[in-house]
Structure 1
Amino acid sequence: MSGKYNGLQAKVREESSPASWIPCAAHSLNPVGKNTVECCSSAVHFFDFLEKLFVFFTISTHRYQLLDEALKNNDSSLTLKRVTTMRWSCRADATKALKHDYEQIKEVLKHIVDDIEEKRCVRCEAEGLLKQMNQLETGIYTTFWNDILQRTDATNKTLQHAKLDLNTAVASLTSLKDYVASKRDSSTLMKKVNSCLSLVQHTISRQKIGRSTAM
């Protein structure tokens, strides 16, 4: 919309050349977040994994049905979302769903891996996704980015309020900046690491119990 040549800014200037273009503070957060992610290769890999997970289940009605049934059994109203759009809030939806249903998603992937009726290529893809979800790094990024994106999304909604005043806008952005900066604090980071460990260790414990039972 803000393009100097073909965007709305250009169209307004055609009608009134002295007009000043003032971008919306809320929508400016979208490119800020997008560019922040793109400058970090590990973050790019994480969101690429989220997109692969979404595509894996939604490209097949059978696999999506398996996931849907597992989430309903867990009384979950969330589901996987895609992340390759400019709408930054979609990333908040994606990380929220992954964190909330982490265990259920892994169980469905394990079911697909063990299903001999599935094509070998499908089982291999499911195994690769499952291995990535069992990595501590994936749990850390899921928790970390979910916290950041939920706060960013809440700030976005505040900035879009019809009765927003300048003082509130400045306070909201300052609060978001301080919140993101606080994530660098070592004690906060350790709390998140412990939270992430609970995401992956539960499955590892269940797998060990399963092996012991089989023996």
Structure 2
Amino acid sequence: MRNGEKIARSWLMYSESTDCVMCFCCCLFRDRDKITQLSGDGFNNWKNVAAHLKQHERSTEHITNMQTWHALLHKLQTNTAIDQVNQDLIAFEVNRWKEILKRLLAIVNHLAERNLAFRGHSEKLFESGNGNFLGQVELMAQFDPVMQDHLRQIQKKEISDSYFSKDIQNELISLVAKCTTDAVVERIKRAKYYAVIMDCTPDLSHKEQLSVVLRIVNCELSKGVSVHEHFVGFLQAHDTTGKGLCESFLGHLEKLDLDLSNCRGQSYDNGSNMQGKKQGVQKRVLELNSKALCVPCGSHTLNLVIGDAAKSSLTSISFVGLLQRLYTLFSSSVHRWTILREHVKDLSVKALSTTRWECRVEAVKAVRYQLPEILKALTALMEYAKEKRDAEVVSTAGSIYQEMKRWPFLVSTIVWYNVLFQINKASKILQSPKVSVETIRNEITAVTDFLQDFRECGFNSAKTDAREIAERIEVEMNWPEVHQRTKKKTV
């Protein structure tokens, strides 16, 4: 108004699909012979909208329709309408569908939290293989009268809409995901500052996916200070270069309505597209926000150091290759695995992790503490293979048996177990989302001191432990001779 006061036009409504404004009461109670733009298709002449609205709200038709609307609204609120019975039926039906949707949302949350598939081979109720979603609906109907009545109406075809279709399921999943993402974004905005953690991983469909995690410090009076990491989405990376990944990340931040200027940290793996100092993601983000300092992933860096160190020694490569051959031999057949379990009771042989070197401590641990039992299992396997006349298994088991009864293998087992045990302990702490910088520093310092001490006196200690095992399995404690090639002198 001219005096600055604002009065809400409760009768005015806006249509996003047509980009027009309309009069609510005139659309309901209009005279068919006197249809205007506000009571028909809508008015979108924005330059003259103010004058047109003033003229409309002063018209006789609008005032009459407003009176009719308010009279009807009063009757509906006081339950005195002429069709009150129908209104009660409508309210009952609305409430019934709300209760059904509450139960369907509860099922969606239950399956999503446990990462379970929703659909099966069939999309019909009370058929085998109809999936977890319909199975949960059937289970709930056994005890819940609301869902039981809903299924009864569906079976008798009293209603055509069941809200069980795959499209409705996907829509409910999307709505729950949006509410979850909105809650996470709201928490990030309250914390204001955040750090980003990203990594690329190919999925089962051979598409590169960029996972985005935001790390914040949450300060609450009741709970105190706590660190949280929130997953905010998978992004399909069509371009895996530093430029392409950075554009995908910035586009996702814009979609979440988050400001890059509030980013205070980055953490990626050691790939050149992420950590590159000239064209990597961290460099491009730093150019836009100099306060977003990049901290390499400590666990990933530690893993690369161990992997490079192991690959620099032929003995280490042969040692881990033998462990993988041992697992492959026994896991390739049910009968072979049964023979192994008959002799090895506590710790079973494990496959080697292809990406995480510190996780190989579990494979080394089984051999470290159960080598005599594993040798007995190999002997029993050779006897079983001879009965079956399986020459390949006899040859493979025999060669592994001979390699594992050598002094270098025993010492390598002790050395690698001691080293990987300490490194795996540090790696687990580095991966904890709630660990402090001081704790990480102390743990890394402890591992560094251990490796330095182990380099000086650890080998003799490993030989002492290996000697106890060698005496039990009767292994000669001598090193193989190293033959050096003699160069002929040319005249």
TM above 0.5: yes
Query: Structure 1 residues 53, 156: CA separation in 2 closer, same or farther (over 3 Å shift)?
Result: same
- 1:203 maps to 473
Distance 1:10 1:169, change over 3 A: farther
Following superposition, the deviation at residue 52 of structure 1 comes to: 0.7
Q: 1:190 to 1:114 in 2, by over 3 A?
A: same
Q: 1:68 to 1:8 in 2, by over 3 A?
A: farther
Question: How large is the Cα RMSD of the aligned pairs?
Answer: 2.4
1:143 to 390, 414, 419: 414
Is the 1:81–1:90 contact (alpha carbons within 8 Å) kept by the matching residues of 2?
no
**CA positional deviation for 1:10:** 5.8
Distance 1:142 1:173 in 2: 23
> Residues 82 and 90 of structure 1 are in contact (CA less than 8 Å); yes or no, is this contact kept in structure 2?
no
Question: What's the TM-score, normalizing by structure 1?
Answer: 0.83
Bigger mean CA offset, 80-89 vs 95-104: 80-89
Q: Where does 1:79-94 land on structure 2 (aligned, <5 Å)?
A: 79-94=348-363
Q: Does 1:194 align with 2:464?
A: yes
Offset of residue 138 of structure 1: 0.6
Q: Of 371, 378, 387, which residue of structure 2 is paired with 1:109? A: 378
SS in 2 for 1:86: coil
Task: Tell me whether 1:29 sits opposite 2:29 in the alignment.
Answer: no
Structure 2: segments with no counterpart, 5+ residues: 1-198, 201-209, 211-238, 251-259, 261-284, 476-491
Paired residues of 2:410 and 2:470 also in contact (CA < 8 A): yes
Higher strand share: 2
Q: Work out whether residues 83 and 91 of structure 1, in 8 Å CA contact, stay in contact via their aligned partners in 2.
A: yes
Deviation of 1:53 (Å) = 0.7
Q: Tell which deviates more after alignment, 163-172 or 131-140.
A: 163-172
Distance 1:10 1:57 in 2: 45
Q: Partners of 1:8 and 1:104 in 2: how far apart?
A: 51
SS at match of 1:183: helix
Change (3 A) 1:8 1:162: farther
Distance 1:50 1:153 in 2: 18
Count residues in correspondence: 199
Q: Which runs of 4+ in 1 moved over 4 A?
A: 7-10
Is the alpha carbon distance of 1:62 and 1:8 closer, same or farther for their aligned partners in structure 2, counting shifts above 3 Å? farther
Determine the C-alpha separation between the residues in 2 that align with 1:131 and 1:165: 47
**Matched residues, percent identical?**
22
- 1:70 correspondence with 2:343: yes
User: How far did residue 114 of structure 1 move?
Assistant: 3.3
Distance 1:198 1:60, change over 3 A: same
Give the structure with the larger helix fraction: 1
Give the deviation of 1:20 after TM superposition. Answer: 4.6
| Structure 1 position 156, deviation (Å) | 0.8
| CA deviation map 1:159-187 (0-9, x unaligned) | 1223222222122111111111111224x
Q: Give 1:22 shift.
A: 2.6
Q: Which one of the candidate residues 412, 434, 449 is aligned to 1:163?
A: 434
- C-alpha distance 64-106 of structure 1, shift in aligned 2 (>3 A): same
Change (3 A) 1:149 1:7: farther
Counterpart Cα distance in 2 of 1:161 and 1:90: 16
CA distance in structure 2 between the partners assigned to 1:94 and 1:7 by the alignment = 36
Q: TM-score, normalised by structure 2?
A: 0.38
Q: Secondary structure at the match of 1:23?
A: coil
Gaps of 5+ in 1: 206-215
Whether contact under 8 Å (2:339, 2:381) holds in the other structure is no
